[in-house]
Structure 1
Amino acid sequence: MIKMDLIQKIKNKQILDLLQEANQITLAEHGKQITLERAIFLSWWCDKGDCSFCYMSSQKPLIQDPQKARRRVEGILAEAEMVRRMGWNIEFLSGGYGAFTTSEIKKIAQDIFQITENPVWLNIGITSELDAYGEEVTGVTGAVEVANPELHQKICPSKPLKDITHMIKEAGDLGFKKAITIILGLGETPEDLQYLFQLIEELEIDRVIFYSLNPHPDTPYANTPQPASLYYAATVAATRIRFPDLEIITGTWVDNLANIGPLLLAGANGITKFPLFKMFGTRHGRRVEEEVQWAGRELLGTFTDLDCLEGESPKSELEPFLKRYITSCLNNKTEYKV
């Protein structure tokens, strides 16, 4: 009954009621601290390449050699070190299908664990090789995107929902935490929350990461508007109310930073999806921090403190890559004004 009550409130546009209840639950169960999250991408290649919303689906025909779409491992590790210095969390390691082998991903995760002293989440697609990972991995993320089975099959034809859920169950059996990603604005309706809630219950999900659609050129969603901010917030709030203990991460884009405050009041524990090195130290980074402050929350990590950029390199071979990231952030300084 509670599921339908929450869905009905969204349909009736009772958004303020949902936000108020969700905010009270969040403060009581999770407190005021908010994390900044950064997904670290391993490559820009995907063997599947047919998710209709995805940037990689528009790039696949342009890439003649998938090996060239792989990032340098030194760059990946340097990014992890920068995230550590800034006080952010690594949301997960992510890469398209077929870019790196399991043994390569494991080695990258081990190196990041050594640098940050925190095990990583993985979001590497459907795999049957989870037993290869150990203490360097804390959890496994399934890219569900759309919980409605019929819509999922249409949007992500090469990533069957049953295979994703099977992998998540296996992850749990192996002792890993479990997460899923959901993208709002792909054609779902408020009624589809019943599918999401069912997934969270049946799979005993620990973390849900919500994103809003970012329309990419040359995809079927190129001209589709992003979802309304209050619809996004209401969906997060309903999820928080239904699952008080759940960790919720919400993603928004640089053109929608005003989403952050309502999403925090709706129950988000962390925020993500920022072009980190373009925004750090800029007015946009300052805006992120202000949104958190005005929501009555306390931000872990920084988006503006340039002093945090310096530090001792964990590996000498990372130094040139670290300098590039630091230079990029310092070049933003002229745009940042108090």
Structure 2
Amino acid sequence: MDVIEKVKNKEIFDLLIEANSITERIHGKDISLERAIFLSWWCEKGDCKFCYMSSQKDRIQDPGKAKRHVKGIYAEAELTKRMNWNIEFLSGGYGIYSTDELIEISQTIYDITDNPVWLNIGITDELDQYGEEIIGVTGAIETANPQFHKEICPSKSITDIKNMLVQAGELGYKKAITIIIGLGEEIEHLNDLFELIEELDIDRIIFYSLNPHPDTEYHLTPQPSSLYYASIVAAVRIKFPNIEIITGTWTDNLANIGVLLKAGSNGLTKFPLFKMYGNRFGKRVEEEVYWAGKNLKGSFSDMDLLTQGNNLRPELDPFIQRYIDMCYDNLDIKKI
């Protein structure tokens, strides 16, 4: 029986046992904490039916004001390094940054962290302008079935994303895709996902569960079942033992983490970092990793790490301090 049939038959625990065995044999037990650094909150396409930015397009009259202050971006990168987190990727909406700006940001973050960055900046045909400052390119596929994709993301062509990732591979960059679970996809769409991973020789897949945003078509849609989410992750791990898998969950679903780690996840993402660090929410993430029998790389609770580091850019100090203050302000938080 293949993995898709096992998912259909709800043989979840068999899938988890097999996936966890494969993961620990090939990847070990280390789990990374991943931080996506957002560069802006506006997108000129703005019509993906689930996306927060689709609710902002008509509200923001001046897209330039949706850009983050670049020093805030660099301060976030510095703190990510201090906490021993990975930068999942740099992300921004379509039509707001030039390639030259993105190269400068990527190079500066590379200088700060000593690690090249992943890009998730939409479809571009200018990847040949980048250099050692990036390690890979992420295509925001979201859902792999072509017909369903046209319905969910009408302005993001799968063909164009695939062409971009082919170019990325030809230039020597790693290739990743993002997939959102809970949009209303069919289990059979796993076949499309498997074909896509094989066709593009994908190195990394990032799963998110649907996070319903107000003023989007999914605002009343509940998040997907934890075991359904885990079964999809496990199926990919079993089918592609060597692929890197990152899984995302939100603060109201932290109990998903343990089962996702058993399903084959190598890293965790999608957290409001500075609202969670050091308080009971961040510590709960660490507990989930512990009870899954895994080893956490980096910290979600060590406050001393926030002030340890050799910042080579003193002009960032006020911005770094703001994030540190936010962490301390949320130590006694009752809810997020």
Q: Structures share a fold, TM > 0.5?
A: yes
Shift of 1:314: 2.2
Q: How many residues align?
A: 333
For residues 28-69 of structure 1, the C-alpha deviation after alignment (integer angstroms, 9 at most, x for no partner) is: 000000000000000001010000000000011110000000
Tell which deviates more after alignment, 322-331 or 87-96: 322-331
How far residue 335 of structure 1 moved from its aligned partner, in angstroms, is: 4.9
Distance in 2 (CA, whole Å) between partners of 1:64 and 1:313 is 36
Of the candidates 78, 89, 92, which is equivalent to residue 92 of structure 1? 89
Residue deviations 1:270-317 (CA, integer Å, cap 9, x gap):
000000000001100000000000000000000000000003322111
Partner in structure 1 of residue 184 of structure 2: 187
Residue in structure 2 matching 1:75, options 72, 75, 82: 72
2:314 alignment partner in structure 1: 316
Residue number in structure 1 paired with 2:39: 42
* Structure 1 unaligned regions, length at least 5: none
Task: Write the distance in 1 (CA, Å) between the matches of 2:42 and 2:96.
Answer: 6
Task: Give the structure 2 partner of residue 332 of structure 1.
Answer: 330
| Deviation >6 Å, runs of 4+ | none
SS at match of 1:260: helix
Which structure shows the bigger proportion of residues in helix conformation? 1
Secondary structure in structure 2 of the residue aligned to 1:23: helix
Equivalent residue, structure 2, for 1:247: 244
Distance in 1 (CA, whole Å) between partners of 2:167 and 2:238 is 27
Amino acid at match of 1:157: P
**What is the match of residue 147 of structure 2?**
150
Sequence identity of aligned pairs in percent?
Answer: 67
* Letter matched to residue 55 of structure 2: S
Q: How does 1:167-206 map to 2 (within 5 A)?
A: 167-206=164-203
SS at match of 1:61: coil
Q: What's the offset of the Cα at 1:334?
A: 3.6
Gaps of 5+ in 2: none
Which of 42, 45, 48 is equivalent to 1:51?
A: 48
Distance (whole Å) between structure 2 residues aligned to residue 128 and residue 189 of structure 1? 31
Provide the secondary structure at the position in 2 that maps to 1:62. coil
TM-score for both structures, normalised by structure 2: 0.98
User: Secondary structure of 2:160's partner?
Assistant: helix
Q: Deviations over 1:110-149 (max 9, x none)?
A: 0000000000000000000000100000000000000000
